[in-house]
Amino acid sequence: MVIQCSEGNSFSIAEIRAQLNLGRRSVWLQSCCAKHDFRMRDVLLPKRARKLPKSPVVKPLVSTNLMSRAQVDLINFQTISDGDFKYIMTYLNHFAKFCILSPLKSKRAEEVASKLLEIFLTFGAPSILQSDNGREFSYVIIAELKTCWPELKLVTGRPRHPQSQGAVERLNGVVQDKLAIWMRENGCKRWSMGLKFVQWQINVSIHETTGQSPFKVTFGEEPRIGLESYVLPKSLVDVAKTEEEI
């Protein structure tokens, strides 16, 4: 690139740097740069030495214990509604990666809060409740929860945090894929009936982050499926009807 200076002379950037090395005044250089809308640092620094703007550092969401943080999200199923059910609520425990899936008729805060209350009164409530549907959505849900359970104390998390958003988006994708498979294999169009089976499949599978199943992280042991989990002869398991028979 060549810069035309006020004295009528033309200089390349390399020549301008050489002039500076010979002691030419920086005022002269500034006037050249100002005239041609050229930044000083582009002249003074070679390309390889220029600092590129740093990308913002995404701080990871840290969940220190089982009840520290959870997230609620909604999957829109209005195009393939199951009777009155039009949404799926996904509840994700960030520490254990344990999920709970519930069918919803609407996305009203009252209905979402009712489902969350069932979860909280079974497993306990997290300290932080996150939602990528927006902080106002979380505020309304928490307010609704407190009308039913005044002792409940929890706060909203940072809205649309990149890491939490990615985790829930991945979960939502897995839920939809597994639900489609369940419906196809069972010849059933009522996806609300398959939700808990999909929830089970996700919670008993090894999670890449923890190296364990969400079920084991939550309950301390792998899940059992009735008598099949005990070391008993299959012939006995198949015919047993009462406790005395085993």
**Average pLDDT of every residue of the chain:** 78
Across the chain, which distance is largest between two alpha carbons, in Å?
108
Quick one: pLDDT at residue 120?
A: 96
Q: Could you tell me what percent of the chain has a pLDDT over 90?
A: 46
The predicted model scores a pTM of 0.68
Rg (C-alpha) for the chain, rounded Å, is 30
- The residue among 96, 71, 91, 75 whose CA lies nearest residue 158 is 71
Rank 37-46, 163-172, 200-209 by mean pLDDT and report only the highest.
200-209
In order of start, what are the domains of the chain with their CATH numbers? Answer: 2-48 (no CATH), 69-226 (3.30.420.10)
- Please indicate whether residue 135 or residue 230 has the higher confidence score (pLDDT): 135
Query: Is there a contact between 192 and 82 (Cβ–Cβ < 8 Å)?
Result: yes
Mean pLDDT of 123-131: 90
pLDDT at 83: 95
More confident call, 155 vs 37: 155
Task: Provide the pLDDT for residue 89.
Answer: 96
